[in-house]
Structure 1
Amino acid sequence: MNIVIVGAGSVGSELVEQLALEDHNIVIIDTQGEVIENLINSFDVKGICGNGASHEIMSEAEVHDSDLLIACTQNDELNILCCLLAKSFGASDTIARVRNPEYFKLFTERNINLSMMINAELEAALEISRSLRYQQAIMIEPFANGKVEIVEIKVEEKSLLDGLKLIDIPSKLGVKFLVTAVDRGDEVIIPSGYFELHSNDKIYILASSKDIFLLFKKLGIARGAKSIMIIGGSRIASYLADELSKVDIKVKIIEKDKSRCEELDEELPKAEIICGDGTNQDLLIDEGMLNCDAVVSLCPIDEQNIIISLFALSKNIGKIITKIDKPTYSKLLSASGLDSIVSLRKSTSDQIIRYVRSKQNSMGSKINRLYSILQGKAEAIEFQVNDSFKACSIPLKDLKTIQDILIGGIVRNDKLIIPGGNDTIENGDSVIIVSAVRAEQLDDLNDILE
């Protein structure tokens, strides 16, 4: 596909990397010449320095011949304008990153001529809210309209899972779930039934929400937090506090900008707003950090979030969630014991990659959901099966598939099937595939077949 990206910030740079790896023709536009230079030296892409909303720049980028224009600058108005102009130039599809909730609601209701709008801050808030349901859940991601969840946890020493072979799980635990992927050190494993779990493994469990609850109860994993401290009064914080207030979770937000505190106080009547510096450790203690079930660090600077989260870790806070946008910091945090990380660039790129693959494969199995796991080394993809799938009604034991993929779940008539050898994939099913193969190989469900 011919794709034009306007904005080479953290989100735009991530998209360039991901889409270039999938062999798309990419043009990246930004006003920062040095950033453009770095991208064209690193990837096989064309770079243009200039204003993405100008007629001259759009002509140079050949927007009229593009299959997709993605506007992901920090400015909502510019993103929307770029998309509207691109449509007038003849671009087939457009995607705008829109952060302002008023714009998002307005343009959704008015059905403006955009193919897709992305509110990365809202998606990040929902991701955090889900992970707060259980203290030890690193990540909880829904599939099949919430009927299925993939949950990431760490295997604790001497837990029921420590030393357990996957084939023995049904008899030992009596709960229907599947371990779809394992992160052991730097090794990514798509496990077979004879794989044995060890303490400190990070595992990705697929099950219904009911069975997740039953499993966690047997494992002694505590239910979610009841009191949350959020450091940083960003849009994510506002969305998150609003979401948590719906389930009567006590929220305290610490923000140093006085005018932003006043806005938050008006927007969030159920939350307690404290005007102060969230990097001040004495302030955090005075405001009750030690009595909180969870701390969520949402400052605009990654380094601030790391320092705050490490301080919370030193005080044995039950759950700590850290916003990080620089990929190089993720491994550092994980090695320090901070596993729950949220990234705006990752959540945005996952949505756009899903859209691109679905457009590219309009005749095959539709991609309903795509989620990058294991720090980008693997993916969980939900396909909607249609009659183009070549292996319908063939028992899975007879299905010849490529290496490093696992059929994690089949949803049929709103019910999850944890697949066994005699199960089949049928037209109309939703199928969840976990894959550690190169991303561009799985545009269609047929790509899992040998």
Structure 2
Amino acid sequence: MYVIVIGAGEVGSNIAASLADSHEVVLVDRDGDLVDSLTYELDVLPLEGDGTSLDTLEEAGIAEADMVIACTDGDETNIVACATAKTVSDAFTIARVKRTEFLDTWSGVEGAFGVDFMVCTDLLTAQTIVRIAGLPGASDVDSFANGCVRMAEFEVTADSPIADETVADADRFESLTFAAILRNGDVTIPRGETVIEVGDQVIVIGSPESVRQFARSLTPNHDLDELNEVYIVGGSEIGFQTARLFEKRGIKPHIIEADPERARDLAEQLPGSIVFQNDATDVEFLSQEHVDEADLVVTTLESDEKNLLVSLLAKRVGAARTVTVVENGRYVDLFETVGVDVAVNPREVTAEEITRFTREEHTENIAIIESDRAEVLEIEIDAESILANRTIADAASDLPEGVVIGAVTRDGRFVMPRGDTVVEIGDHAVVFVDSSVLGDVVSRL
């Protein structure tokens, strides 16, 4: 596939990295030095230019392009780039936007803006926050096969019941697969004798109930069925969308916003929320409003530094769990190291959603693990798949190291993948794949 990626920032570079091994990629940006620097790391064709310019698109090879991905930080720029591309080609166009108004217009009018698929960063980030919030202890959560399968990532702490156990001993759940262990930056495919160590990130795939039971075993002090006291600090668009999604789940969030006018707007638009107009760095206010009793504090301020400060203050006064938005992807690991429970990077979330559309047609869903160290894919099995009409044990012998069949669904039902399970045409397989073998595996599945 011939792909033109417009915008070489965090989103564009992540997308280009995921495509470069198996597709021909042209990376366009106005900053020539940035594009040139990325070509030392990525096997892409660099082009300095304006992605909204027809001349630039023609130089990039728009006539042969199968896909155009516009993912700069400017909503209007991305929309215009897609519209321009549509005037001279039939390429599939994807536009990244932040403002939900553009998404609403696009959703309501077929073919609006000349965009085939639109990704709204703020809404995706809010959805990610709410999804993670629903499973305490998890640092990442994704659903597959229309909700029949769940993938989750958990950190193993010193007081975790599975710390220092073998995978065989920890495997006490009927419909759960230990897909991988992330340790010191390396991806390990666990065996029965693999010992789970403190500090490991464990990735599990299974039925929603089994993953929930596993989470409950790791966080016995949390009631997974109750998320009552939720505080959202910052009335940004992400904060607003997060509150709206919580309201839809029957949860009444508390929103703390310093700007009086924005606080009034939020109170009018979110009748199911409680809005406070105050500075969230005021420790006396946090204590007075019982933030120490919070099940969850979400920080969605406009500054990474302020988000970190408020998250740490919330933890200090006694909040059970914090999730914070981190605009700079380089800060994610740092924030989680110093005390934030989960850091969510909007650009990474957006790159993951767009990457899903660049996979083979039978790839139904995708989750990117730990900055592209691995991926979890949902594959619809066709007659050409290496899994078709074979047992998992037999097919596994023809797959490289770094692949785990985490779950299978058939006619909307969960099938626990055992060695003697026969995978049938039409089944959906949820597969963990190390990035080092991704290109080879996707083509064979």
TM > 0.5: yes
Instruction: Tell me the equivalent position of 1:19.
Output: 19
SS of corresponding position for 1:372: strand
Q: Give the counterpart letter for 1:232 in structure 2.
A: G
Instruction: Tell me the equivalent position of 1:338.
Output: 340
For 1:281 and 1:94, how far apart are their aligned partners in 2?
A: 48
- 1:42-74 CA distance string (max 9 Å, x none): 544444444422333333333222221111233
* Contact 2:27 2:35 (8 Å CA) reproduced: no
Instruction: Tell me the equivalent position of 1:206.
Output: 205
Instruction: Tell me the equivalent position of 1:377.
Output: 373
Correspondent of 1:423 among 421, 424, 433: 421
* Contact 1:233 1:254 (8 Å CA) reproduced: yes
- 1:298-330 CA distance string (max 9 Å, x none): 122222222222233333421111212333222
SS of corresponding position for 1:261: helix
Instruction: Tell me the equivalent position of 2:95.
Output: 96
For 1:77 and 1:410, how far apart are their aligned partners in 2?
A: 41
For 2:167 and 2:228, how far apart are their aligned partners in 1?
A: 33
How far does residue 296 in structure 1 lie from its aligned partner after superposition? 0.9
Instruction: Tell me the equivalent position of 1:432.
Output: 430
Correspondent of 2:305 among 299, 303, 306: 303
SS of corresponding position for 1:210: helix
- 1:167-193 CA distance string (max 9 Å, x none): 3445xx353211111123333211112
Instruction: Tell me the equivalent position of 1:409.
Output: 407
SS of corresponding position for 1:179: strand
Instruction: Tell me the equivalent position of 1:123.
Output: 124
Cα RMSD, aligned residues only: 2.5
Q: How many pairs were matched up?
A: 438
For 1:13 and 1:390, how far apart are their aligned partners in 2?
A: 31
Instruction: Tell me the equivalent position of 2:384.
Output: 388
How far does residue 406 in structure 1 lie from its aligned partner after superposition? 0.7
For 2:282 and 2:45, how far apart are their aligned partners in 1?
A: 44
For 1:251 and 1:154, how far apart are their aligned partners in 2?
A: 26
For 2:259 and 2:21, how far apart are their aligned partners in 1?
A: 41
Correspondent of 1:239 among 235, 238, 241: 241
Q: Give the counterpart letter for 1:56 in structure 2.
A: D
Tell me, yes or no, if structure 1 residue 138 matches structure 2 residue 136.
no
* Contact 1:135 1:318 (8 Å CA) reproduced: no
Tell me, yes or no, if structure 1 residue 192 matches structure 2 residue 182.
no
How far does residue 99 in structure 1 lie from its aligned partner after superposition? 2.8
C-alpha spacing 1:355/1:439, structure 2 compared with 1 (3 Å) = farther
For 1:375 and 1:339, how far apart are their aligned partners in 2?
A: 17
Of 188-197 and 151-160, more deviation after overlay is shown by: 151-160
Q: Give the counterpart letter for 1:7 in structure 2.
A: G
Gaps of 5+ in 1: none
For 2:184 and 2:32, how far apart are their aligned partners in 1?
A: 38
Instruction: Tell me the equivalent position of 1:167.
Output: 168
* Contact 2:99 2:122 (8 Å CA) reproduced: no
C-alpha spacing 1:305/1:314, structure 2 compared with 1 (3 Å) = same
Matches within 5 A, 1:262-411: 262-358=264-360, 362=361, 366-399=362-395, 400=397, 401-411=399-409
- 1:376-433 CA distance string (max 9 Å, x none): 2111111111111134222222221211111111111212222111102110011011
Of 418-427 and 65-74, more deviation after overlay is shown by: 65-74
SS of corresponding position for 1:73: coil
* Contact 1:27 1:48 (8 Å CA) reproduced: yes
For 2:319 and 2:420, how far apart are their aligned partners in 1?
A: 46
- 1:260-304 CA distance string (max 9 Å, x none): 333322221122223344445454444442232211111222222
C-alpha spacing 1:416/1:114, structure 2 compared with 1 (3 Å) = same
Q: Give the counterpart letter for 1:29 in structure 2.
A: D
C-alpha spacing 1:202/1:222, structure 2 compared with 1 (3 Å) = farther
* Contact 2:24 2:44 (8 Å CA) reproduced: no
C-alpha spacing 1:74/1:261, structure 2 compared with 1 (3 Å) = farther
* Contact 1:297 1:309 (8 Å CA) reproduced: yes
TM-score by length of 1: 0.88
SS of corresponding position for 1:376: coil
Matches within 5 A, 1:35-54: 35-40=34-39, 42-54=41-53
TM-score by length of 2: 0.89
Q: Give the counterpart letter for 1:160 in structure 2.
A: P
